[in-house]
Every structure is written in C-alpha cells, then in structure tokens.
C-alpha cells in the first residue's frame, strides 16, 4: 500500500500547503481542493509523532494562509503577519483533535472527528470576537457557481463538508480501500449534477423596470480619500458620476464605503456642511434614493455612554464612532452601523484588551467602532428596494446576511473600500464571495467598491458588468424589486450544517473523555 512507502513529512507538508494555495480563488485550479488535505492524512497514517505532526500541519496551513491572504500586509504589516500566524495556528486545532481521537478510538471515528472538528472550528470562526472566516473551505467555489447551486439548501457549510469528505475518500482510495474510488467518483459528480439540474429548472424572476446605478469613484484611500481639503471635490465627483447614469427609472444610487470622507454627526445629518451637496442632489431628483457609506459619530453624556464610548478631550462628553451606511432621499435618512467589525483594526476583542497598548503602537485600535445587533432592513422611500446592507467585508458571512433576507430584504447591497489592499487577489476574492450570498438567498447583489470591483450579481451567482481595478466608473442595470420572493432553505435555517457538526463534536469529545477516565480508573 502507498502508506507503507514512507514519504518525508516535510514533502507532504509542503505539498498540502501548495495544493491549498493553488486551489483558492482567484486560481482556476479549484478542483485541487478535493485532494489538498490528502498529504496530511498520509502523514498521519505513517505514524509520525504528535509534536512533529503538529509542526508539519502548521507549516502547511501557514503556506496556505500566506499565499492567499498576504495582501493584508498592504494595510498593516504587523497586523497582517499576526493574523496569518494566528489563523494558521487556530486551524491546527481540528487536526490535533483528529490525531488524538484516531489514536484513542480508531480510524472510523477519527475521520468523522476530522470532518466535524474542522466544521466546528469554522463555525466558531464565523461567530466569535476574533472572527476571520476568509478561508472557510466552502468559499473556495466562489468562482464556480455552476458547481454549487445547491448552496441555496446548505450554504458554504455544505461546500466545506463536500471538500472534507472527498479528501478522506480519495485518501482511502490511495490506501486501496474497497469501493473508495467508486465512492469518490459519485461524491464528486453528484453535487455538480444536482447543481446543473437546479440551474436548468430555475430562472431569474422578472419585476418592474427599476434600475440601480453603482458608482466606483476610484479614490486612493491612502493619499487622497481622507486628506483635509479634498473632501468636497470627492463628493462632487460622486454626484457627477451618478448624474451621468441616472434616468427616469433609476430608483437607487449606490456609493461605496466611507464615500463621504469626513466624520459626520449622525444626529446632525441634515445640517452638516459637507452633506449639503448630497441633499441638493437628491432634492433635484425626488424619485431617487441614495445608499452611501459614511464615517459617523454620535455624542453621549456620562449617563448615556456605553463601554466602547470614548471621551472627548477636555470635556465631559463621550462619543461613539461608526462605519455606517446611510439610505437617503431628499428629506429623510436611515442609518445602519456596520456590525461585523474587523478585529484589531476596527475593534479590539474583549479578551485582548490587555494588549491595547501594543495594538495602538502598530496602528490598531483600542476603542474602535460601535456596531449594531439587529439586522435592520433599509427600505427605500420610493417603495422599490428593501436593502440588506453589507459594509466592508460583511458579505463574507452567510448566516449574517441571511438574517436580513428573513427580515424582508429583497436586494443585497455591498459597499466596500477594497483599495486598502492594493492590486492583489484580496479584492478579487472579496468580489467573488458576494456570489455565494446571491446563490444562498436567491437575491440580486449590487456591489459598489471604491477602487474596484464594482458589479452586479444575479441570483445564480453570475457577475454582470464588472468594473476593472483602478478605474473611475458608474454602471446601471435593471434589477427586479420583488415583493413576494420565497425564502430558500438556507435563508430560513442558516448554518444548520455547522451547528450539527458542533453537536457531533461534543458527543465525540464526551466519549473520548469517558474512555480516558475509564482507562485511568482501571489503572487505579
């Protein structure tokens, strides 16, 4: 058997890391993900000790994390390096758990434990304070919507399960296990066939003739966007680009994250000097609504402040900062405060508050932004669109976005500023992840990115009219605004596959603890 022909663990470690990297968007070699973990399974089968095994697994995951997310360092070098090192370490936990369970309970439970331990890790990573689910395995198919139309039933969790099961089956096939190769072929092909059937039987629903205009202003976030004296010109540019595309059927214009490049008191939106050109633009087009990113704040007293409120120097007042989306017409506005804040950059997790001074030294935050708990749908005043707003990277969270749809949203709007990362794979990955949300919820997505890629995505994950990186543009598309859209299975039930894995994980851990205690009891 292949397992008896020993391969040096360093070779297996490097091979696994390179396969993971080579399969990830924006690489066209997506299929490699189905065998990317096989070298790590071979390594464990060869009887390597736990300490070295942990080291080689860490090396594989470090190669993957570095190759796919190195672009974070373009925003902050210390923060990017720390995130890559920490994320790689966290990813080792399921593998060490698998190693221990397989040794103590046996191969069958061991391989089951690898699947559910990894999925439990991903679920936690989606929901805890140090969340960074960029490399959730199910995201790998973001460029292959034709393979995963069944995400409307499973979400990205189904993709993760598919990948893990296939890796184990291919490994068993290499071990010449009976029926493993046939199982691998059927497990690989059947989901794709199901996806093709769903695509064939479905079609995009038609609605009215309302259209959405997306603006991509292409303003450098480092050298121009937040520089004093340049804010008014940026707002005029946004208005000019909008007016170049709007017509009598335009019901919504979308500007990117922090498009209003100056801190705005959200309690004084209507009287703010910088907002006056925006209000004038909207009053000139009374049937129009605007969704724009703003960097807002609100003032509080000692009695009304919260734990994230920061004190104004030399005063008795406090303030909260927000990364917000504002929906406006000529007279009214609604505000959504970004809720999924970037750890270390926009908010410091509570269990890391003791490192506050270090974070500030290297450009992080100790106070940061304040988010909101509710998934509040923003309803256009012209009665057309009910918006699920996603600010910055919130669109990578499947269940998070599904809650908006359950609350009545009929359109997903992503506003982001991917310019922080430069011309790298980062903004391309981010754009493609929005395709998963479209499939999961069967909703249109409109995406406004400051420096690119702005685009539309139909409910089947097809990208329409994408605008190149580092390009000034505005685009328009008729987007149906339906009032009676049905909810997908995933929209209703969310990450139920991940939650099921958590329960199985708990059962395996309890079983393992029982066996450990029983063994020690007999020794005594």
Q: What is the pLDDT of residue 364?
A: 42
As to burial, measured by CB atoms within 10 angstroms (0-12 exposed, 13-18 middle, 19+ buried), residue 347 is buried
How much is the average pLDDT of 164-168? 97
Mean pLDDT of 62-82: 93
- State both tokens at 99: 């190693």
Average pLDDT, the chain: 91
The reported pLDDT for the residue numbered 352 is: 62
- Lowest-pLDDT range of 124-138, 200-214, 237-251, 360-374: 360-374
Task: Work out the end-to-end distance of the chain between its first and last CA atoms, rounded to an integer number of angstroms.
Answer: 40
Separation CA 223–CA 267 (nearest Å): 29
d(CA 406, CA 404): 5
Query: Quick check: 290 and 328 in contact, CB under 8 A?
Result: yes
Domain ranges across the chain: 2-202+497-523, 211-296+323-481
pLDDT band at 521 (very low <50, low <70, confident <90, very high): confident
Q: Which residue has the higher pLDDT, 376 or 352?
A: 376
Q: pLDDT grade, residue 362 (50/70/90)? A: very low
Give 401-441 pLDDT, tens digit per residue.
999 999 999 999 999 999 889 999 999 999 999 999 999 99
Q: pLDDT category, 365, cuts 50, 70, 90?
A: very low
Average pLDDT over residues 7-34: 97
Categorize the per-residue pLDDT at 351 as very low, low, confident or very high, splitting at 50, 70 and 90: low
Residues whose CB is less than 8 angstroms from the CB of residue 383 and which lie 6 or more positions away in sequence, other chains included: none
Lowest mean pLDDT among 53-62, 176-185, 460-469: 176-185
| Assigned CATH class of 211-296+323-481 | alpha beta
Tokens of 72: 């974070």
Query: What confidence tier does 361 reach under pLDDT thresholds 50, 70, 90?
Result: very low
Residue percentage of the chain with pLDDT more than 70? 94
In the prediction, which pLDDT does 363 show?
41
Mean pLDDT over 29-40 rounds to 98
What percent of the chain has pLDDT above 90? Answer: 74
User: Is the model's pLDDT at 220 over the cut of 60?
Assistant: yes
Which pLDDT belongs to residue 524? Answer: 61
The pLDDT value recorded for residue 359 is 46
Distance CA 95, CA 98 (A): 5
pLDDT score at 367: 52
Determine the average pLDDT of the residues in 436-450: 97
- Arithmetic mean of pLDDT, 129-156: 96
């Amino acid at each position: 058997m292949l397992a008896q022909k020993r391969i040096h663990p360093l070779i297996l470690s490097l091979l696994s890391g390179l396969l993971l990297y080579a399969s990830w968007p924006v690489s066209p070699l997506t299929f490699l993900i189905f065998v990317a973990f096989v070298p790590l399974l071979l390594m464990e089968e060869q009887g390597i000790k736990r300490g070295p095994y942990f080291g080689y697994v860490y090396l594989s995951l470090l190669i993957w994390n570095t190759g796919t997310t190195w672009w974070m360092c373009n925003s902050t070098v210390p923060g990017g390096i720390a995130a890559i090192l920490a994320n790689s370490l966290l990813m080792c936990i399921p593998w060490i758990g698998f190693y221990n369970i397989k040794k103590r309970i046996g191969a069958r439970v061991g391989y089951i434990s690898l699947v559910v331990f990894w999925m439990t890790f991903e679920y936690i990573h989606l929901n805890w304070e140090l969340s960074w689910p960029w490399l959730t395995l199910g995201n790998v198919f973001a460029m292959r919507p034709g393979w995963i139309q069944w995400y409307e039933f499973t979400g990205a969790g189904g993709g993760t399960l598919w990948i893990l099961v296939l890796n184990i089956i291919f490994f068993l096939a290499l071990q010449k296990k009976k029926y493993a190769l046939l199982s691998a072929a059927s497990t690989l092909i059947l989901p794709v066939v199901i996806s093709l059937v769903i695509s064939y039987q479905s079609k995009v629903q038609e609605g009215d003739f309302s259209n959405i205009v997306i603006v991509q202003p292409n303003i450098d976030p480092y050298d121009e966007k937040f520089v004093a004296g340049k804010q008014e010109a940026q707002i005029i540019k946004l208005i000019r680009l909008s007016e170049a595309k709007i017509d009598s059927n335009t019901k919504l214009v979308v500007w990117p994250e922090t498009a209003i490049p100056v801190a705005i008191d959200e309690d004084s939106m209507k009287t703010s000097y910088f907002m006056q050109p925006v209000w004038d633009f909207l009053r000139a087009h009374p049937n129009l609504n605007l969704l724009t990113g703003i960097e807002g704040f609100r003032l509080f007293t000692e009695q009304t402040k919260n734990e994230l409120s920061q004190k104004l120097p030399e005063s008795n007042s406090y303030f909260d900062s927000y990364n917000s989306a504002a929906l406006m017409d000529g007279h009214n506005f609604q505000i959504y405060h970004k809720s999924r804040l970037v750890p270390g950059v926009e908010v410091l997790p509570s269990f890391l508050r003791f490192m506050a001074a270090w974070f500030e030294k290297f450009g992080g935050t100790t106070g940061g932004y304040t988010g909101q708990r509710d998934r509040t749908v923003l309803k256009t005043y012209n009665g057309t669109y009910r918006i699920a707003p996603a600010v910055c990277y919130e669109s990578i969270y499947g269940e998070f976005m599904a809650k908006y749809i359950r609350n009545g949203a009929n359109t997903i709007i992503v506003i982001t500023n991917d310019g922080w990362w430069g011309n790298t794979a980062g903004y391309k990955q981010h754009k493609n992840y929005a395709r998963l949300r479209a499939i999961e919820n069967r909703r249109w997505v409109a995406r406004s990115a400051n420096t690119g890629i702005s685009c539309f995505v139909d409910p089947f994950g097809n990208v329409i009219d994408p605008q190149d990186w580092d390009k000034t543009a505005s685009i328009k598309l008729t987007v149906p605004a339906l009032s009676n859209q049905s909810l997908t299975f995933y929209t209703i039930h969310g990450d139920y596959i991940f939650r099921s894995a958590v329960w199985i994980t708990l059962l395996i851990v309890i079983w393992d603890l029982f066996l450990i205690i029983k063994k020690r009891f007999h020794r005594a």
